[in-house]
């Protein structure tokens, strides 16, 4: 059974890292290992996914008005062609973009919960995906200088599909779901703030589906971790994730992702060094 201290620590890590492009799964795996938990235990893996409900609720509340606006535009557009404006297209982009990761997650669930839950994988992914983020930032800067960037009103369903396909890479611990989706948005020529908001919106169906699936799949073992501890973990994740969302949106409005790239590389190399000298076990 998890202690309440474990639950608070994991809730903080989840809330801090779920929406920052640094990999929540990677950080949670490291945190679980340092807390003495078995990272390959199915119940622990399920707990890691389930406390993401706190981050989902934070997203819903923070973007409540915008989500309601997009949903109503989507509903109206289904029956009225004249109502199919930018919000209708944006809603469809989020919907279609959420499908690939759901399919990939279902088909690869055993790989994700098993062999990929390895700290060597996390270390490698932290460093290697940083190269994609650098590429995305360079393209963003080039398009910004040329005045060719697109904003929220110019997002297409094709953008949603391409970002959704890129989101599948986030199933690898250490890549980062937000890092994958924001990078994909920048590579598609979307401005940084819009790409970040799209990342938040696409997190809702992806995290919800993953949490529900894991809860049902491991319903017989989750009780061993403590329902009170799960509640505390989700509550802490909610509070910290809400603050993280507000901070990140302000940060990307005037800053690039390069600070996160530097952190990822240092963290990945430090983790690899710790693994190499035997300070921490990979599984």
Cβ(25)–Cβ(113) below 8 Å: no
Report the distance separating Cα 149 and Cα 140, nearest Å. 8
Confidence of residue 135 (pLDDT cuts 50, 70, 90): very high
Q: How far is CA 22 from the centre of its chain?
A: 9
Query: What tens digit of pLDDT does each residue of 218-257 get?
Result: 666 666 777 888 889 999 999 999 999 999 999 988 889 9
Is residue 131 exposed (0-12), middle (13-18) or buried (19+ Cβ within 10 Å)? exposed
Query: What tens digit of pLDDT does each residue of 15-58 get?
Result: 999 889 998 888 888 888 888 887 777 777 778 878 888 988 99
Helices (H) and strands (E) in the chain, counts: 15, 0
Q: CA angle at residue 224 from 220 to 226, to 5 degrees?
A: 115
pTM: 0.88
Report the distance separating Cα 97 and Cα 157, nearest Å. 8
Cβ(76)–Cβ(53) below 8 Å: no
């Amino acid at each position: 059974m998890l202690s309440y201290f474990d639950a608070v620590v994991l809730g903080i890590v989840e809330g801090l890292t779920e929406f920052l492009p640094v990999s929540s799964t990677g950080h949670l795996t490291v945190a679980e290992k340092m807390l003495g938990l078995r990272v390959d235990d199915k119940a622990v893996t399920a707990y890691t996914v389930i406390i993401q409900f706190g981050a989902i609720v934070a997203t819903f509340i923070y973007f409540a008005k915008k989500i309601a606006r997009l949903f109503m535009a989507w509903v109206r557009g289904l029956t009225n062609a004249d109502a199919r404006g930018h919000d209708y297209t944006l809603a469809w982009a989020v919907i279609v973009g959420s499908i690939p990761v759901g399919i990939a997650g279902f088909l690869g669930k055993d790989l994700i919960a098993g062999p990929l839950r390895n700290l060597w994988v996390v270390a490698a992914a932290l460093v290697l995906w940083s190269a994609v983020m650098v590429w995305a930032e360079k393209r963003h800067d080039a398009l910004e200088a040329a005045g060719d960037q697109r904003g929220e009103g110019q997002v297409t369903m094709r953008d949603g599909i391409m970002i959704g396909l890129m989101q599948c890479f986030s199933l690898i611990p250490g890549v980062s779901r937000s890092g994958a989706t924001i990078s994909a948005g920048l590579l598609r020529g979307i401005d940084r703030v819009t790409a970040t908001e799209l990342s938040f919106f696409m997190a809702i169906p992806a995290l919800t589906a993953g949490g529900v699936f894991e809860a049902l799949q491991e319903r017989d073992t989750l009780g061993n971790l403590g329902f009170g501890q799960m509640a505390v973990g989700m509550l802490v994740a909610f509070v910290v994730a809400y603050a993280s969302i507000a901070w990140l949106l302000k940060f990307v409005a005037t800053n690039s992702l390069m600070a996160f790239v530097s952190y990822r590389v240092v963290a990945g190399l430090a983790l690899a060094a710790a693994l190499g000298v035997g300070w921490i076990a990979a599984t």
